[in-house]
Amino acid sequence: MNRFGIDLGGTKIEGVVVSSARPTETLCRLRVPTEGSRGYRHVIAQIGKLVRMLERKSGTRRPAWIGFGTPGTIDPARGVLKNSNTLCLNGHRLADDLAAALGVEVQTANDANCFALAEAALGAARGRGVVFGVILGTGCGGGVVVDGKVLGGLHGIAGEWGHNPIAGEHTPCYCGRSGCVETVISGPALERYYRSLSGRRARLPEIVARAASGEGAARRTMRRLRDKFAVAIAAVINILDPDAVVIGGGVGNIDLLYGDETREAVRRNVFNPVVRTEFLRPLLGDSAGVFGAAMLSASSRSAAKPGGSPRARRTR
């Protein structure tokens, strides 16, 4: 049976049908808008609509398992979604409700975990034992993969580096704290910083181009990205000591993050005289999350019990 994977994003919900024999072979890939402003039940309905579209387009019957990458994470103790910046999803038993609505077994993981899993198994970090996958874009997410398995953690928050505080930073975060990594080096945070220096609005790619041409405010914005990224990622390296860090998201397209000056800034903050950690660009692009979700449905099958009603499982 071919695999279905769903990536639930803030603005769009993406689904893919992949070949069981060749997991990077896409048989069908479709999107629908999330429309979170219309409420939780509407998002569930949108997912149901997408699954039906995938069935029709691919000519594949709905499988017994579907993997979902979610914003935030399912709390292992309570079974409800938490920490999602799509706020209407928080506090609901999302995995259970999806299983009931779709009539299938559901396996869920944080979207950054799905990204990390796909890049570790199929992409840039293939063959590495410990991989930290970063989604650095509108927000800052992270996922940990050890020997091909996602590390979820006791509270379901393993890899959530985006909500670690950075010393000396005080910008309020939607999570209720201040100075989080996400408020400092996400795309919107960097754009706000540039505007505070220059008095002008600009999108991040334009700021990068202006820095290359020598504009002062843009150059200061890129230095801020380099220095604060180094501090934030060094904390992860000091604790996890990964073989590789894969950097996805729009900010991850900036060449500066892979250069010698950023590596040197990281080294100054790591508890080791050298840094051998690889910093890698993702090979799967924006496909990584949805491919990782499809891989969840395969990995969960080995833990399934035959029979019974549809149920939900979370990675741990």
Element at 264 (helix H, strand E): helix 260-267
Query: Does residue 103 contact residue 310 with C-beta atoms inside 8 Å?
Result: yes
Query: Does residue 269 contact residue 304 with C-beta atoms inside 8 Å?
Result: no
Query: Does residue 227 contact residue 265 with C-beta atoms inside 8 Å?
Result: yes
pLDDT for res 272: 97
pLDDT for res 304: 35
Q: Tell the burial category of 139 from Cβ atoms under 10 Å away from its Cβ (0-12, 13-18, 19+).
A: buried
Taking domain 126-282, whether its CATH number is 3.30.200.20 is answered by: no
pLDDT for res 239: 97
Task: Look up the CATH number of domain 3-114+286-314.
Answer: 3.30.420.40
pLDDT for res 38: 96
pLDDT for res 312: 61
Query: Does residue 116 contact residue 292 with C-beta atoms inside 8 Å?
Result: yes
pLDDT for res 138: 85
pLDDT for res 9: 85
Q: What is the dihedral of CA 72, 250, 181, 214, to 10 degrees?
A: -170
pLDDT, mean of each 10-residue run, the chain (316 residues):
89 90 84 95 97 95 93 91 90 96 94 93 95 92 93 91 95 93 97 98 98 98 98 98 96 96 98 97 87 75 38 54
In this structure, the chain runs to a length of 316
- Cβ atoms within 10 Å of 305's Cβ, excluding its own: 7
Q: Where are the domains of the chain?
A: 3-114+286-314, 126-282
pLDDT for res 1: 77
Same fold, 3-114+286-314 and 126-282: yes
pLDDT for res 240: 97
Question: Distance between CA atoms of 14 and 52, rounded to whole angstroms?
Answer: 13
